[in-house]
Amino acid sequence: MLRSVRLVALGAIVAGAVVLCAVVGWADSTVAVHVDYSAAQGCPDALGFGEELRARAKVRFVADKDATRGLVLRVTRAGKHFEGKLVVRDGTAEETERRVRGDTCAEVVSGLALVSAFALGFTPVTEREDAQSPPDVALADIAQPAPVKDAAPELVIRPVTAEMVDSSTTAAPPPAPQLWSLYAGADAQLISDLSPNLTFASPVYFEVARSFGSKVGVAFRVRLSRATSTDAATFTLTAGGLDFCPLSYFARPIRLDLCARGVGGMLNAVGIGVTPARAATRPWASVGAAASVDLYMLGPIYTRLEAALDVPLVRDRFFVQPNDTVWMAPVVGWSGGLGAGATIW
């Protein structure tokens, strides 16, 4: 009888020791952690994050902010994406910070859970059979900052990838669009209303453009030219012009400008084959409209095709004795040119 009692007592002691070891081992493998969680509106709440973390690590949530281990998490919208920030506190003065970016808030929260598990010393897997932990303080009972108000994100959940985890600083915002541009170029041009024959000119121009959107803007163009034609007299025009282009449409590699044009200068005529040979210099002015098409072929370099109509405002008659008319400007003239230019900035 006494031997049976001893055996029962010995068995109870062994069973108690086994249970005690199991409890101690279980307690040693479970990490107590305080979570401070805040996310944009529509993102998973603190309970959702807790489920993600428990699927990857054996943790026990506590309300004590002075706990040895602490996680501070913030999830915000960054343009069309979401960004998560994780600060890991281990009870010392040092803190570790990690950042996660993704297309949806759900995948960012999942990525934060993955990084948190690594930071707590676990090797995360998709599901853990031993991820269950004993009853603890509910995440809902832990004081949390009010959610960040924001538009609801697009709920498209994708697997967490290594590219989403960024331990460096936040990505820089996209650069602001360029509003002003400067161009310069030269044309080879034929003009119909300066002399009896077509007159060749090679104007140079400088242009400033202002964008009001991704494709539409306005432009201002300054032109300088000198044209010479020889027939019964030599005609030389030295002039400058200003183009105002209220419609400038740019869809690379094509740019289209519709412009109003004004030209002013001096027209010099010298008689040929007459005695006495005389010369006359008269003012020249015209207004009109021009259209040009630019084709970008190599970086900032483009070719330009241009056509214009103009109305001379000064229509002097050039004649030789006794009264033979050499030239008189028409009511409407035209010009066309082909050239090249470059975008300076």
Specify whether 133 is located in the same domain as 212. no
> Which pLDDT value is given to residue 286?
95
**pLDDT > 70: percent of the chain:** 72
HSE toward the beta carbon, residue 247, CA cutoff 13 A: 8
3-state helix, strand, coil in the chain (%, to 5): 15, 50, 35
CATH of the domain at 337: 2.40.160.20
Which residues are within 8 A (CB) of 298 and not within 5 positions of it... i.e. 6 or more apart? none
Residue 14 belongs to a domain: no
- Using DSSP's 3-state secondary structure scheme, residue 108 falls into helix
Identify whether 23 is part of a domain: no
Domain that holds residue 230: 180-343
pLDDT tens digit sequence for 38-57: 998 889 998 989 888 888 88
Cα gap 235→271, rounded to integer Å:
9
Most confident of the ranges 1-5, 100-104, 167-171: 100-104
Structural domains in the chain (count): 2
User: 166, 197, 219 — which closes off a domain?
Assistant: 166
CA distances, 103 to each of 37, 175, 201 (Å): 20, 20, 57
Interval 246-265: pLDDT, tens = 999 998 899 999 999 999 99
pLDDT of residue 201: 93
Instruction: Clarify whether residues 210 and 283 are in a common domain.
Output: yes
Residue 46: both structure tokens together:
């603190």
d(CA 45, CA 55): 16
pLDDT band per the 50, 70, 90 thresholds, residue 153 = very low
Which residues, 6 or more positions from 139, have their beta carbon under 8 angstroms from its beta carbon? 35, 37, 46, 47, 49, 50, 61
The per-residue pLDDT for range 300-335, each reduced to its tens digit, is 999 999 999 999 998 888 776 677 777 788 999 999
Q: Which of 166, 197, 231 is the last residue of a domain?
A: 166
Could you tell me if 146 and 112 lie in one domain? yes
Last residue of a domain, one of 138, 166, 194: 166
> What's the pLDDT at 131?
44
What pLDDT band is residue 161 in, cutting at 50, 70 and 90?
low
Q: Are residues 67 and 129 in the same domain?
A: yes
Let me know whether 214 and 305 are in one domain: yes
pLDDT band at 12 (very low <50, low <70, confident <90, very high): low
- Do 73 and 198 share a domain, yes or no? no
Same domain, 205 and 305: yes
Residue 162's Cβ-count burial label (10 Å; 0-12, 13-18, 19+) is exposed
